[in-house]
């Protein structure tokens, strides 16, 4: 076959493919580009911008499932530190939807179906008992168990299974709320990268719009100092907060009388008020004979921004909230014993306090400081009492024992240093 015959055969094949598959860009563009010297690359890159005139659009109000809190067709975040009852709150809201009950503000809810997917809690021993404790209609609750394929059932992956999920939702009908816990599972890539988070969330956002349901994703808050904006402390990329139309924050704070209380507040809203909240209490009840579960008991409404209401949304690793850095640091020190500065300040660092906040707290407590030699670390103790020797850093080392007296020199803040030696200066943490 010579080159002319080959070219004729290839052209005929292209024409057949283009006729059978009009949308085939390679064949169609190759045909249309004959005589131009180009193989359709210019046509492949061209497109038509779709514009809509504002006069052709009809303004529509936001449709609310819970007025100013949960919007139909929108994506919401529920964030909080561990132990604040985020999932229990979500189950309480879901229960309200299933029975057409009343929201914390007393307004009524239209009954509907609820879809729940959780990658953290078991359905039978955790989530279902919580729903029952909240009074849910179990016949209107649907749990996502997995994906059935030709090879069996595999785990459900929100990042790739959204289309199939939509088909299942359409079979159920009247789904008004979807809960994803945690929402980070919707992101197949790096949850700290803006573009990957947006790409992962978009299918779920589109799903909520298409079925007109409120989508609630649960996530955690990062550690942060007092006075910081809770909505800006959502774990991962800022895209989680940016894509969500409403961000709800759950936290435990100190009341004016020093007692603990929990508050659910609006940290952000692009479609309604972005302040206010409700007090709530986590109660343990008997859901069924022999089965205990937690549920939410709502309290009074509170006014103010989330930043003002959640005055202390920081939790330490031990799960306890601390009113401020002063009380926490005071608990780590004593009058009659020197404590390593690193050891004393570590709990404050774990609780999210900054170096400046820790330093300010130490000044307020008028802490006594002493340095263990020229190269040693600093030691702190509370003021008062009599001065004492620093503890040996390594009790197993022969240096510093009775047989091997320590050669280290101790310096305190009031120590004087000769002109022939470097001045000892304590720097901030």
- Please give the pLDDT value at position 390: 75
> What CATH number is associated with residue 260?
3.40.50.300
Residue 236 maps to a domain: yes
**Of the candidates 279, 309, 339, which is a domain's last residue?**
309
Residue 56 maps to a domain: no
Task: Indicate if 94 and 240 belong to the same structural domain.
Answer: yes
Task: Indicate if 69 and 116 belong to the same structural domain.
Answer: yes
The residue assigned the tokens 């690193």 is: 342
- Please give the pLDDT value at position 240: 92
CA angle 223/224/227 to nearest 5° reads: 145
Residue 339 maps to a domain: yes
d(CA 266, CA 68): 9
Q: What is the pLDDT of residues 231-241, one digit of tens each?
A: 777 888 889 99
Dihedral-angle region of residue 378 (phi above 0 means left; psi in -120 to 50 means alpha; beta otherwise): beta
Residue 123 has pLDDT above 90, yes or no: yes
Task: Indicate if 217 and 96 belong to the same structural domain.
Answer: yes
What's 326's DSSP letter? H
Q: What is the pLDDT of residues 279-333, one digit of tens each?
A: 999 999 999 999 999 999 999 999 988 887 876 444 443 333 344 678 778 888 8
Task: Indicate if 150 and 288 belong to the same structural domain.
Answer: yes
Residue 54 maps to a domain: no
d(CA 394, CA 417): 26
CA angle 374/380/381 to nearest 5° reads: 140
Where is average pLDDT lowest: 151-160, 164-173, 274-283, 414-423? 414-423
Q: What is the pLDDT of residues 103-115, one digit of tens each?
A: 999 999 999 999 9
Task: Indicate if 41 and 13 belong to the same structural domain.
Answer: yes
- Please give the pLDDT value at position 419: 40
Task: Indicate if 194 and 261 belong to the same structural domain.
Answer: yes
**Of the candidates 309, 338, 363, which is a domain's last residue?**
309
Residue 417 maps to a domain: no
Residue 53 maps to a domain: no
Residue 75 has pLDDT above 70, yes or no: yes
- Please give the pLDDT value at position 5: 55
pTM across the whole model: 0.63
Residue 2 has pLDDT above 70, yes or no: no
- Please give the pLDDT value at position 338: 86
Task: Indicate if 334 and 296 belong to the same structural domain.
Answer: no
Q: Which of 144-158, 174-188, 414-428 has the highest average model confidence (pLDDT)?
A: 174-188
Q: Measure the CA dihedral 396/399/402/405, to 10°.
A: -160
- Please give the pLDDT value at position 29: 47
Residue 16 has pLDDT above 50, yes or no: no
Residue 372 has pLDDT above 50, yes or no: yes
Residue 418 maps to a domain: no
Task: Indicate if 119 and 187 belong to the same structural domain.
Answer: yes
Angstrom distances, CA of residue 326 to CA of 222, 257, 358, 406: 21, 18, 8, 34
3-state class (DSSP) for residue 357: helix
More confident residue, 84 or 420: 84
Task: Indicate if 164 and 94 belong to the same structural domain.
Answer: yes
Please name the helix (run of DSSP H) or strand (run of DSSP E) that holds residue 304, with its range, or none: none
Alpha-carbon torsion (134, 275, 314, 195), positive or negative: positive
Task: Indicate if 74 and 190 belong to the same structural domain.
Answer: yes
The first and second tokens of residue 64, run together, are: 């609310």
Residue 396 maps to a domain: yes
- Please give the pLDDT value at position 45: 61
> What CATH number is associated with residue 378?
1.10.10
The first and second tokens of residue 385, run together, are: 């009492």
Average model confidence (pLDDT) across the chain? 79
CA angle 237/242/245 to nearest 5° reads: 135
Q: How many domains does the chain have?
A: 3
Length of the chain equals 429
Can you list the alpha helix ranges (DSSP code H) found in 224-351?
239-243, 306-309, 325-332, 341-350
- Please give the pLDDT value at position 74: 97
Q: Which of 36-40, 162-166, 309-313, 394-398 has the highest average model confidence (pLDDT)?
A: 162-166
Residue 185 has pLDDT above 70, yes or no: yes
Task: Indicate if 33 and 99 belong to the same structural domain.
Answer: no
Task: Indicate if 41 and 94 belong to the same structural domain.
Answer: no
What's 428's DSSP letter? P
Domain range enclosing 355? 325-412
Average pLDDT over residues 107-126: 93
Q: Could you give the percent of the chain with pLDDT greater than 90?
A: 42
- Please give the pLDDT value at position 86: 95
d(CA 395, CA 376): 15
Residue 426 has pLDDT above 50, yes or no: no
Q: Which of 384, 373, 402, 394 is nearest to 337 (CA)?
A: 384
**Of the candidates 246, 274, 309, which is a domain's last residue?**
309
């Amino acid at each position: 076959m010579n080159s002319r015959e080959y070219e004729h055969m290839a052209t005929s094949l292209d024409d057949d493919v283009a006729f059978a598959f009009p949308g085939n860009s390679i064949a169609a563009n190759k045909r249309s580009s004959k005589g131009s010297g180009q193989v359709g690359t210019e046509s492949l890159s061209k497109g038509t911008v779709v514009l809509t005139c504002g006069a052709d659009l009809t303004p529509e109000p936001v449709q609310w499932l819970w007025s100013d809190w949960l919007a139909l067709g929108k994506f919401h975040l529920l964030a909080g530190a561990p132990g604040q009852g985020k999932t229990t709150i979500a189950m309480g809201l879901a229960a309200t939807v299933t029975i057409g009950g009343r929201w914390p503000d007393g307004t009524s809810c239209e009954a509907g179906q609820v879809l729940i997917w959780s990658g953290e809690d078991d359905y039978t021993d955790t989530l279902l008992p919580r729903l029952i404790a909240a009074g849910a209609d179990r016949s209107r609750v649907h749990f996502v168990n997995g994906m059935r394929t030709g090879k069996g059932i595999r785990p459900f992956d929100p990042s790739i299974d959204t289309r199939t999920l939509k088909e299942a939702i359409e079979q159920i009908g009247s789904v008004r709320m979807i809960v994803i816990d945690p929402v980070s599972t919707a992101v197949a890539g790096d949850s700290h990268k803006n573009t990957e988070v947006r790409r992962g969330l978009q299918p779920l956002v589109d799903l909520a719009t298409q079925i007109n349901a409120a989508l609630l994703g649960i996530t955690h808050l990062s550690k942060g100092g007092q006075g910081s904006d809770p909505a800006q402390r959502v774990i991962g990329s800022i895209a989680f907060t940016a894509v969500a139309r409403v961000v709800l924050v759950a936290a435990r704070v100190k009341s004016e009388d020093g007692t603990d209380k929990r508050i659910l507040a609006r940290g952000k809203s692009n479609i309604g008020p972005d302040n206010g909240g409700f007090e709530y209490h986590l109660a343990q009840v008997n859901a069924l004979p022999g089965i205990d579960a937690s549920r939410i008991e709502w309290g009074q409404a509170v006014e103010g921004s989330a930043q003002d209401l959640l005055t202390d949304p920081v939790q330490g690793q031990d799960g306890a909230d601390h009113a401020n850095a002063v009380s926490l640091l005071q608990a780590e020190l004593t009058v009659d014993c020197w404590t390593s500065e690193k050891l004393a300040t570590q709990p404050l660092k774990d609780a999210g306090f900054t170096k400046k906040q820790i330093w300010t707290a130490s000044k307020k407590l008028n802490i006594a400081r002493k340095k263990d030699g020229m190269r040693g670390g600093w030691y702190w103790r509370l003021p008062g009492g009599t001065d004492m020797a620093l503890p040996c850093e390594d009790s197993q080392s022969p240096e510093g024992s009775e047989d091997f007296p320590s050669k280290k020199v101790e310096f305190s803040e009031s120590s004087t240093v000769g002109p022939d030696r470097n001045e000892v200066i304590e720097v901030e943490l």
